[in-house]
Amino acid sequence: MPRLQLASPDGSTATVYQHGAHISHFQPAGQSPVLWMSQSCVYDGKSPLRGGVPICFPWFGPHAERSELPSHGYARIRPWDVDSITSTDTHTIAVFSMTPNDAELEMFPNTCHVRLTVTLSSALTMALEITNTSDSAFTISTALHSYFEVDDVKNVNITGLENTQYLSKVEGGTYTQDDQPIKFTRETDRVYQNTTTTCLLHDPDKQRQIAIEKTGSKSTVVWNPWIEKSKNMPDFGDDEWPSMCCIETAAAGPDAITIEPGQAHTITAKISAQST
């Protein structure tokens, strides 16, 4: 499958597949890989890639009315155009874009233009810009669905979402995070709402902290499938769940985005890693 291998002047690297404009690899110079990819990922040019940063658009999760439509929308399962690759003395920038085809417009009948700008230095910044090119407003839910590599998910914790309301897709219902960091003790699938905070993923075993800063997004999704759900995903190894967790920069549920005709909305996520 066609992919871009990017390097920044400081020696950081990233890989982006044309399929879904899917970032599958990010490794800051002198550090271990930050993004996780499944060893069981299916690279057939049709399936979504398991890991890295899938782009969920124009809906997040299952389609609200039509269960036959692809989970997380069409953007991650179709080729994007490579618009440009440029570099400065500190960054390398790659720009991808897509415009929905007839089959995609049948799923979501709103013309739009979607651009992903990937900026690589010792950090990885993703900017997803959605422009409404139609003559009526539309509402989308979307996510930069980032999968992070961890040593053992049972030993990590996430700060930045304390005291924040979330919808739990495992237990059902809405809860409020206490004033403690998030820890993983079972299947976890939470859509934190009305939050603009930076999250920190603390990984003591890797002696690393990953920061996820964001703009234009008021949902943060935290996910680990744990044991049983991992077994039920053919492109996710049964024993892989301890090595990953998702912290997703999203706009979903009550934080979905309405874009007026001719207007655009941009969601950005900046990922960086520091040794601790």
Contact status: 72 vs ligand TA6 (CB under 6 A): yes
* C-beta closer to ligand TA6: residue 112 or 246: 246
Contact status: 240 vs ligand TA6 (CB under 6 A): no
User: In the set 28, 61, 73, 160, which binds ligand TA6 (CB under 6 A)?
Assistant: 61
Contact status: 15 vs ligand TA6 (CB under 6 A): no
CB of 49 to ligand TA6, least distance (A): 9
Q: Binders of ligand TA6 among 160-179, rule CB under 6 A?
A: 169
Q: Binders of ligand TA6 among 125-154, rule CB under 6 A?
A: 145
* C-beta closer to ligand TA6: residue 210 or 244: 244
Q: H/E/C letters for each residue in the chain?
A: CCEEEEECCCCCEEEEECECCEEEEEECCCCCCCECECCCCCCCCCCCCCECECEEECCCCCCCCCCCCCCCECHHHCECEEEEEEECCCCEEEEEEECCCHHHHHHCCCCEEEEEEEEECCCEEEEEEEEECCCCCEEECEEECCEEECCCHHHCEEECCCCCEEEECCCCCEEECCCCCEECCCCEEEEECCCCCCEEEEECCCCEEEEEEEECCCEEEEEECHHHHHHCCCCCCCCCHHHEEEEEEEECHHHCEEECCCCEEEEEEEEEEEEC
User: In the set 122, 248, 251, 259, which binds ligand TA6 (CB under 6 A)?
Assistant: 248
* C-beta closer to ligand TA6: residue 53 or 200: 53
User: What residues line the site for ligand TA6 (CB under 6 A)?
Assistant: 48, 61, 71-72, 145, 169, 189, 221, 223, 246, 248
